[in-house]
Structure 1
Amino acid sequence: MQIDTLSEFLTQAGTEFRLYDLGRRLQPLPRADFATIEAGQRPYPWPLQRHAWLAVSYWQQGAGAQRYVWFLKIPLDERGLLNQAAIKHFLSALVEQLGQDPGAPLSDEQQQRLAQTPFTFQPAQDKLAAFHARLSQDLGLPPSAYYRPVLEYLQAPERRDWQQLGLQGLADLAARLATEPALAQQLGQRLFRLPPPVQQALLSQCEQQPLPPALATVLLAQISIEQERQTPDEERISLLLRATAGCAPFPARSRKIASLLTLAPGRPLMLALAARLWQELTDESLLLQYLAQLAEHHPTLFNGLFAELVATPALRPLILANLHNPALPAPLRDAIGQLFATARG
């Protein structure tokens, strides 16, 4: 049996499946979009370190079927397309484990063998928790047993020890903020009265999920409060901004980023914008402002972050169109020149 794509394998196996990107942050990947990516008709939209980082959840049709998950790290070619040889290698490993029956269930031992291929990876615990929370939410399944204690803690923090809260429960809460307005409002009212470790964990989970606009506005306001301190905490500003990453670009955030970029931004903010908020950089003025600050104040980061941004399909045309822009500031022109001189050897 000739099977050339992952989607074809899963479909012929009679499974239902969902796909998510786990690279820069958790994002659902529609099956129709993935089919065009597999066919080589478009580059992978969210590359990280020249790879696609995929979570594939699949299950046999029917109530009560066991769900399996693969975490796949698939290399991309110089055009940003999926490396077809890597896909075929993984598929051949699947067929080897399953024989000629793609619908056969995988045993735990077979799962372990597949995990030893060079195309699998193990996500960090916080991203793994976010993935399971989002998958359960998308499939209409109940949250984990850790969710109820988190809700009870949010309602009355003084009655519970925050150190007993489970990470999965925090992730379950973040995954429900976009669809439960009352919960989002409650979090916005109480988040910044919670102990710093709880704030940090919740903000880290928020960056993996879509948020309602009202809560995103609360987070931006907290950035302004932090900026008014005598010595603003750059890590905290970055964390607050990253927490809004699941929101589509909106004017208030764009203005806040532009303002932050005028203040000799530190390393945490520059990394956060490239890793989590690249969609804001599709605004050409913000992109050029970002690159100029990166070249002038963070030259050691320039080559690596420039390479990641130019590999992002949404940003690549904008960057290439400005490589020879005479209006670029001198530090940025010099950094680009040095980058290409190094690449030429």
Structure 2
Amino acid sequence: MQINTLSEFLTQAGTEFRLYDLGRRLQPLSHDDFAAIEANQRPYPWPLQRHAWLAVCYWQQHSQTQPYVWFLKLPLDERGLFNNGAVKHFLAALVEQLGQDISGELTDEQQQRLAQTPFTFQPSQDKLAAFHARLGLALNLPPSVFFNDVCDYVQDPKQHDWQQLGLQGLADLTARLQQDRALSQALAAHLLGLPQPVQDALLSQCEHHPLPSVISERLLSTISTELERQQPNQERIAQLLRATAGSPTCTARQQKIATLLTLTPSQPVMLSLAARLWQDLTDETLLITYLEQLAEHHGELFNGLFAELVSIPALRPLILGNLHNSALSSSLKNALGTLFTGAV
């Protein structure tokens, strides 16, 4: 039997499956979108370093066993399309492990052997925790054993020891904020007064999930407060901005980004916008301002970040359409000229 795509393999094997992108941040990927990507009908929407970073979760229909998960790093071509040779290489390794019975379940040993292929990767701990939290919620599975302690802590931080909290519990809580008003209200009230290690972990988790407005508005207003200081903490501003990345683009955030871009934005802010908040740069005015500030103040980052941004399908036509825009700043024109001269 000739099987050319992951979707075909998983369907023929009689499995249910879900797909998530783990590149820039955690995002679900629908079956229909993935099928179109596999057929090279559209580019991969969220490339990072010219790869698709996928979490593929599958389980046998009517099976009581825990879902299996593959973390796949699949190369993309210059257009952002799947490298079908890499996919077929991975599928060949799968068939080698399963023999002719593609409906069989992989043993733990077979899973480990597949992990030896060049197309697998190990996510960072924060992304792994966010993934398990989102997946468990989607499959109606109970949260981790750390969840209740985190809930108790957020409701009344002074009565609990933060050093006993588990990262997975923090991730489980963050994934549930959108649907739990009481939790979101408690976190909004206490978040920015929590010990820094807890804040850091929670804000990192927030990057991967849509947030209720009570929290995202609090984070954006705290950026304004930080900007009013005599010496604003640029790392802190970037952290707060990144924490809103999992929420849809909104006017308030775009206005905040526009403000930051007028204030000689720091390297942490510029990196955060490219890595987590690229969707806001689909506003053409913000995009051009971003590139001009990048060229003028962070020239050492220009080539790398330009290459990453132009690889994103949502940004690529906007960037290419402005390459010969006569209204671009001289700094940006010079940076582009140097970039393309060096690429020849």
Same fold (TM over 0.5): yes
Residue 292 of structure 1 corresponds to 292
Q: 1:60–1:66: 8 Å Cα contact kept in structure 2?
A: no
The alpha-carbon deviation at position 192 of structure 1 amounts to 1.2
**Structure 1 residues without counterparts, runs of 5 or longer:** none
Determine whether 1:48 maps to 2:48. Answer: yes
AA partner of residue 224 (structure 2): S
| Matched-pair contact (CA < 8 Å) for 2:155–2:183 | no
The offset of 1:263, in angstroms, is 0.6
Is the Cα contact below 8 Å between 1:73 and 1:120 reproduced in 2?
Answer: yes
User: Deviation string for 1:101-140 (max 9, x for gaps)?
Assistant: 1111111111111000000000001100000000001111
Partner of 1:105: 105
- The answer for the alignment partner of 2:9 in structure 1 is 9
Q: Is 1:70 aligned with 2:70?
A: yes
In the alignment, what sits opposite 1:320? 320
Q: Deviations over 1:216-244 (max 9, x none)?
A: 11110111111112211111100100010
* Counterpart mapping for 1:221-300 below 5 A: 221-300=221-300
Runs of 4+ in structure 1 displaced over 3 angstroms? none
Hey, what does 1:25 align to over in structure 2? 25
Offset of 1:157 from its aligned partner? 1.3
Q: Which moved more, 1:121-130 or 1:229-238?
A: 229-238
Partner of 1:119: 119
1:87: which partner in 2? 87
TM-score with structure 2 length normalisation?
Answer: 0.99
The equivalent residue for 2:193 is 193
What is the identity, as a one-letter code, of the residue corresponding to 1:159?
Q
TM-score by length of 1: 0.99
Amino acid at match of 1:315: L
Look up the equivalent residue of 1:73 and give its one-letter code: K
CA drift of 1:44 comes to 0.1
CA deviation after TM superposition for structure 1 residue 63, in Å:
4.9
Q: In 1, Cα distance between the equivalents of 2:200 and 2:236?
A: 9
**Seq. identity, %:** 69
Amino acid at match of 1:58: Y
RMSD: 0.8
In 2, distance between residues paired with 1:326 and 1:28?
A: 39
SS at match of 1:73: strand
**In structure 2, distance between residues paired with 1:231 and 1:73:** 41
Partner of 1:172: 172
Task: State the SS of the aligned residue for 2:230.
Answer: coil
Cα shift readout 1:172-205 (whole Å, capped 9, x = no counterpart):
0110111112211111111112111111110000
Determine if contact 2:58/2:68 at 8 Å carries over to the other structure. yes
Aligned residues: 344
| SS of residue in 2 equivalent to 1:178 | helix
Moved more, 104-113 or 154-163: 154-163
Q: Does 1:136 align with 2:124?
A: no
CA distance in structure 2 between the partners assigned to 1:241 and 1:102 by the alignment? 45
